[in-house]
Structures are given as C-alpha cells and as structure tokens.
C-alpha cells in the first residue's frame, strides 16, 4: 500500500461540445494508482470511465478537451507534456487495451509487423530484432505457433486470438501501467476469464500495475485489489475491492451490487443516468436515491474519508457512520 | 418475381466476374497490341505514301489507309503506345504527388490543411478542357506538356480522395490503438493510414487513366495536344473526319473504337479493382 504512486489524476474535468452547449462528461475525478497495484474503475456506459483513461494517455481528441485538473505519471505532468514526450510515454510506460480487439488491429498489416512497429517506436533496433520481439510477445500471450501467426492478418484470427494479439501489442514494451478498457467485451464468457487471467499474470510477472475499466462487477471482484465507482462523470465511492463488495456505502454502489447479487425489482424511479447537459445542482444520484434529504439537492457533496482508504461522496451515509467527525477529504 | 416490388438484384458473383473479365480482358488486348503490334507490320506510322492513299481495309492494309497513304493499323498501334504512355505517366505523376499531400491534409488538424483544399478547389473550379487547352496553348503543344496538364488536373482528384479516406481512417479504433502504443505521427501515416487508403486510390487511378486517354485525344483533336502527323488516337480521328462524308469511314472509326474500348476497359477494371482491394468487402 505504501509503494510509489504511479498515476495520479486530480480534479479532472473533460468537456465535449454538444448541440446543447459544452457538456462536462468527466468532472471532479481524482484517483491514484500505485506501482504493482490492480485497480478497477466501475460504472455504467457513459459514466466517463473510458474518457478518464484516454485523458491519462493524453489522447483526448478535439473537440473534447480537458478543462481542469492534473494528470501525473511517475512524477511527470502529462497534460503539459509536449507531443514527443507523450509519445515516448505511450506504449513504453503506459499502454492501453481497448474493447473490440479486431477493430483495434490494422486490417492491412500482419499482426507481427504491427507489434514490431510498436517495439521500434521505443527502441532503435532493426527489423529482424523487432520482429523477434513481436514473436516473443505473441508467445508470451500463448498464441500457438507464434512464428507463423506473426504473419497472419487480423481477419484471420478468432476474437480470443485477436484479443491476445492486442495484449501482446500493448505489452511488447513492458509498460509500467496497463489500462484495460472493457478488455473482454464481446468475448465468450469462457474466453473472458482466460484473457483476464493471462493479462493479470503478465502484468504481475513484470511488477506492473493494471487499471481495469469495466461495467462487469465480476471482473472487478476477481481481478482488482482496489476500485472506484463512477457515476455521471464523478467518482462516488472508492476503496479496497473487499470493502466495496462487503460494505458498499454509497446508495449507487449498493444498487449496483444488489443488481447482481439479489433479485430485486428495478428502481421504480428508473435507471436512466442524469442528463449531463442539464446536471442537477447537488448530488447527481439524488433523483433516484432512497436516502435523499433536502440538503442533497442543494450542494454537490464532497468525497469524505470514512475509513482508511475508503472515500464516499454521500453526506447522509457519512453522517450515519461517524456522526461527529465526518472528515472532509478531497 | 410475380408481384410486389421488383428489386434490382445485387451483382451476383457471376455478373461481377463477367465485368471483371471484360475490363481486364480489354486492357490486356490493348496493352498486348501496343506492345507487340509493331511486329505485325513493316510500315512506318508517320510515313506518307500518296500512291496508296484512302485505300479501304484489305489484306495488305488491314484497317485501310488515310488521306496521305499512312497505314491505319500501323498508326493505331503506334498511337496506342503513345496514348497509354501519356495516360499512365500523367496519372502516375499525379498519384505520387497527391498521395502525400492528401495524407498530410487529411491527418493534420492545422489551419493550412483547409488552405490546401481551397487551392484544390481553385484548380477544379475551371472547366477541365478549357484549362487544358489554355495551358497547352501557353506552353505549346508537346507530349511533355500534355502529360503535365493532365497530371495537374488529376492532382486535386487524388488529394480529395486520399484526404477523405484518411479523414475516415483517422477515427478508426486501430489508429487510436496504434497511437496509444507510441507510434509517431509519421509512422502512423506511413504504416497504418496510407496502406488502408491505397485501395480506392488505385481503383481511381485506373478510371483516371481512361479519362486521361479521352482528354489527350480531345486535346489532340482540337489541335492543342499531339500534333499530326504523330500517330495519336485523337489526331487520327481528326484527320479522318473530313473523309467521313466522302465514305472513307475506316480512318476515323478504328481509332475511335480503340479509344472507346480503352476507356471502357480502364473504367471497368477500376470498378473491379475497387471491389477487390476494398478490405471492408474482403471475406475470410
């Protein structure tokens, strides 16, 4: 727990222009990932999870823009870094695995060549050596007969194989942090587990960290040590994975966990996320919260530290837990 | 279909195949004639022979002779060489110049990308034939100038095409993924963007060669391109035109046919290439 902070995001805000004006898709997001840590970010579609990850990679493309906050990786400020230093960090120290592997591979290039180019983006080596590295990377993700497979095109691979190839592409430069954005969406359930285990094993073997972004609670439960829950572009609760699952505090976290652990009628106030273009004034979740109080709708609640390493954005629950000394955190 | 809406059936494999065969077949025949045609004839395409003027097609002069006794077949074959050379060279030059411009303009989000496109608009705003005539008039008619003009007119077409492909490709997940592992902008464009955009450019190139043949012949026909007596399909049509009325149809007809078939061949081949090179339609 006391190891070095690898990635820290502070007070991040990302805005996108829409027909209804500029919309903050991510707001007030702060998180930290330490060296060697397995971190998870949970949230429903559109909660801003992927956007937060793209910001960490310095890949928020116009017209989207980061309007506030700081992203630091291993002590370096990524938001003010120039293009070339960002490029050197990408892939080499920080890599991402996106959803839909087949679409994430260039259809016109053999997979081995794509991986070799990624290696050569960070190492001044010749074609033969980089291709050897690519074959090694394919072998490390347990693609059978990697020498031959290096010459195949993405459309010749099955979904699972394509996902493995994508992991090989991301891991060839041995990054210190691997961001896995919905890494198993679209794969068979049996292959999902295999891919996740493989990814965890590779990352652990080289002492790197992993940041899994998903809406699948099972993935978070099985593969992370610490997690944060995102709702409407904000983090509403974060803590150790064990705490989040055994003692979920935020009404939204509880709803999430109950939605898979218990047969419970759906929230009768609907489960639609709030309209980001017309955000409610106070707590974003208030409109469908069982614990809502008058104060909830008036001011944005802060993230309170309710236990060591457990943050919560719900003043009502915070007060219940420690009525006298609700410590206000960031 | 008995009732209801009769839908146009999609091109079946066999129909697709037939137009492939026709297109590539035509090109093959024309290129073959251009390459080995001179072997079939001992005559010189540009020599006048007044003693055998205006002879109809016969065993000796397969496609007849023209008003000053030039052998139409010999001239047709010589013209095929020249026209194919002009068409392919000018399009190749345009292709080579326009592809990097289109790629940079499509990939970059800088202000000058728009400025480049306005220059292309400017070139394309004029009627093609008028520009070609004006330029050749200024620079003088010569093979080189015809190539120069056609290349210039082709550049905006390819810039536009490559740019639009690159604009679409730029947002594809595999480009994002390639960027996220640290590929430089140059590497991204060279290894990931351009190879994926080349298919439609190559298909377009074939169509544009046909179009270049037409333009060359047109320019020559009005005297702004290749000058007679050099054998060129357009000049041949022009020199046979006065004889059409007096019944010597063979002088203009055969170069006209050759031109039409060549343009058709390149157009069909372009379509076939587009279907073949399109990764999206490629099946496993």
Helix B194-221 and helix B72-107: axis angle, to 10°? 140
How far apart are alpha carbons A87 and A57 in whole angstroms?
9
**Could you say which of A89, A117, A166 has the minimum Cβ distance to residue B187?**
A117
Query: Collapsing DSSP states into helix, strand and coil, what is residue A329?
Result: coil
Question: A98 vs B192: CB contact, 8 Å cut-off?
Answer: no
Structure tokens at A210: 């992993």
Return the pLDDT at B258: 92
Return the pLDDT at A2: 53
B40 backbone dihedrals φ, ψ, rounded to 5°: -80, -5
Domains of chain B: 16-38+63-278 (1.10.3720.10)
C-alpha torsion angle, residues A261, A266, A272, A274 (rounded to 10): -80
Q: Which residues of B touch A170 (CB under 8 A)?
A: 180-181
List the end-to-end C-alpha distance of chain A, in Å, as a whole number.
19
DSSP tag of A148: H
Beta bridge partners, A240, equal A226
Question: B182 vs A121: CB contact, 8 Å cut-off?
Answer: yes
- Residues, chain A: 330
For the residues of B193-217, what is the DSSP string, one character each?
A: IHHHHHHHHHHHHHHHHHHHHHHHH
Instruction: Extract the residue ranges of chain A whose pLDDT is less than 50.
Output: 1, 326, 329-330
The label of the residue with tokens 């614990």 reads A291
B168 backbone dihedrals φ, ψ, rounded to 5°: -70, -40
Query: What's the Cα-to-Cα distance from B52 to each of A56, B39, B49, B242, rounded to whole Å?
Result: 83, 21, 6, 18
> In 10 A of CB B222, how many CB atoms?
13
Contacts of residue B131, defined as CB under 8 A and 6 or more positions apart, other chains included, come to: B123, B149, B153
Most A CBs within 10 Å, among B109, B110, B111, B174, to test the A interface: B174
10-residue averages of pLDDT along chain B (284 residues): 47 66 89 83 76 78 78 88 94 95 88 90 87 84 88 93 91 89 90 88 92 92 84 89 84 91 93 76 44
Burial of B140 (0-12, 13-18, 19+ CB in 10 A): exposed
Question: A104 vs B195: CB contact, 8 Å cut-off?
Answer: no
Question: B191 vs A107: CB contact, 8 Å cut-off?
Answer: no
Burial of A130 (0-12, 13-18, 19+ CB in 10 A): buried
CA A210 to chain centre: 9
Query: Collapsing DSSP states into helix, strand and coil, what is residue B110?
Result: coil
Question: A98 vs B176: CB contact, 8 Å cut-off?
Answer: yes
A122: closest CA among B144, B1, B183? B183
Q: Which residue of B has its CA nearest to A60?
A: B176
| Reported pTM | 0.79
ipTM: 0.82
Contact A38, A212 (CB under 8 A): yes
C-alpha torsion angle, residues A278, A284, A289, A293 (rounded to 10): -100
A97: closest CA among A9, A4, A19, A210? A210
User: How many beta-carbon pairs under 8 angstroms link A with B?
Assistant: 80
Return the pLDDT at A256: 84
Question: B177 vs A95: CB contact, 8 Å cut-off?
Answer: no
**Could you say which of B109, B181, B191 has the minimum Cβ distance to residue A62?**
B109
Question: B181 vs A155: CB contact, 8 Å cut-off?
Answer: no
Contact B248, B240 (CB under 8 A): yes
Q: Which residues of A touch B187 (CB under 8 A)?
A: 117, 121
How many C-alpha atoms does A282 have within 13 Å on its Cβ side? Answer: 18
How far apart are alpha carbons B153 and B136 in whole angstroms?
13
Return the pLDDT at B256: 92
The label of the residue with tokens 């989207």 reads A64
């Amino acid at each position: 727990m006391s190891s070095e902070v690898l990635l820290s995001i502070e007070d991040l805000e990302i805005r996108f222009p829409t027909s209804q004006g500029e919309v903050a898709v991510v707001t007030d997001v702060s998180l930290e990932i330490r060296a060697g840590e397995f971190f998870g970010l949970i949230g429903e579609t559109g909660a801003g999870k992927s956007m937060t990850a793209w910001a960490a990679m310095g890949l928020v493309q116009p017209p989207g823009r980061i309007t506030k906050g700081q992203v630091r990786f291993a002590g370096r400020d990524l938001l003010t870094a120039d293009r070339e230093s960002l490029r050197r960090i990408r892939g080499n120290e920080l890599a991402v695995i996106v959803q839909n592997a087949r679409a994430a591979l260039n259809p016109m290039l053999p997979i081995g060549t794509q991986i070799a180019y990624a290696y050569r983006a960070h190492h001044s080596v010749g074609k033969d050596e980089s291709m050897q590295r690519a074959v090694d990377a394919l072998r490390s993700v347990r693609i059978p007969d990697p020498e031959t497979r290096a010459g195949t095109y993405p459309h010749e691979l099955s979904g699972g194989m394509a996902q493995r190839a994508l992991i090989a592409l991301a891991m060839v430069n041995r990054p210190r942090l691997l961001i896995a954005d919905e890494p198993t969406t679209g794969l068979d359930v049996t292959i999902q587990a295999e891919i996740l285990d493989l990814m965890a094993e590779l990352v652990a073997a080289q002492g790197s960290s992993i940041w899994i972004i998903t809406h699948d609670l099972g993935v978070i439960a099985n593969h992370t040590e610490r997690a944060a829950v995102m709702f409407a572009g904000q983090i509403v609760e974060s803590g150790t994975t064990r705490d989040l699952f055994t003692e979920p505090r935020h009404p939204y976290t509880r709803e999430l966990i109950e939605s898979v652990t218990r047969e419970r009628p759906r929230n009768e106030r609907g489960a639609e996320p709030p309209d980001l273009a017309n955000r409610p004034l106070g707590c974003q979740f208030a409109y469908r919260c069982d614990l809502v109080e008058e104060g909830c709708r008036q001011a944005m609640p802060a993230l309170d530290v309710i236990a060591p390493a457990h943050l919560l954005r719900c003043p009502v629950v915070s007060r219940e837990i420690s009525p006298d000394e609700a410590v206000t955190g960031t | 279909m008995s009732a209801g809406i009769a839908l146009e059936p999609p091109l079946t494999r066999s129909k697709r195949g037939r137009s492939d065969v026709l297109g590539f077949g035509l090109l093959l025949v024309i290129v073959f004639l251009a390459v080995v045609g001179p072997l079939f004839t001992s005559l010189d395409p540009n020599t006048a022979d007044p003693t055998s003027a205006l002879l109809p097609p016969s065993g000796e002069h397969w496609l007849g002779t023209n008003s000053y006794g030039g052998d139409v077949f010999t001239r047709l074959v010589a013209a095929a060489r020249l026209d194919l050379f002009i068409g392919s060279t000018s399009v190749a030059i345009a292709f080579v110049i326009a592809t990097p411009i289109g790629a940079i303009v499509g990939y970059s989000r800088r202000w000058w990308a728009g400025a480049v496109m306005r220059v292309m608009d400017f070139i394309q705003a004029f009627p093609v034939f008028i520009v070609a005539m004006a330029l050749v008039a200024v620079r003088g008619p010569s093979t080189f100038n015809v190539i120069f003009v056609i290349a210039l007119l082709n550049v905006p077409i390819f810039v536009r095409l490559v740019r639009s492909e690159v604009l679409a490709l730029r947002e594809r997940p595999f480009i994002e993924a390639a960027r996220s592992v640290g590929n430089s902008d140059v590497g991204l464009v060279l290894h990931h963007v351009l190879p994926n955009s080349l298919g439609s450019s190559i298909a377009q190139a074939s169509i544009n060669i046909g179009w270049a043949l037409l333009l060359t012949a047109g320019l020559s026909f009005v005297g702004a391109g290749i000058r007679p007596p050099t054998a060129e399909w357009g000049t041949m049509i022009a020199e046979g035109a006065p004889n059409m009325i007096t019944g010597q149809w063979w002088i203009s007809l055969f170069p006209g046919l050759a031109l039409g078939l060549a343009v058709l061949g390149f157009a069909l081949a372009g379509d076939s290439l587009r279907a073949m090179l399109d990764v999206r339609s490629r099946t496993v």
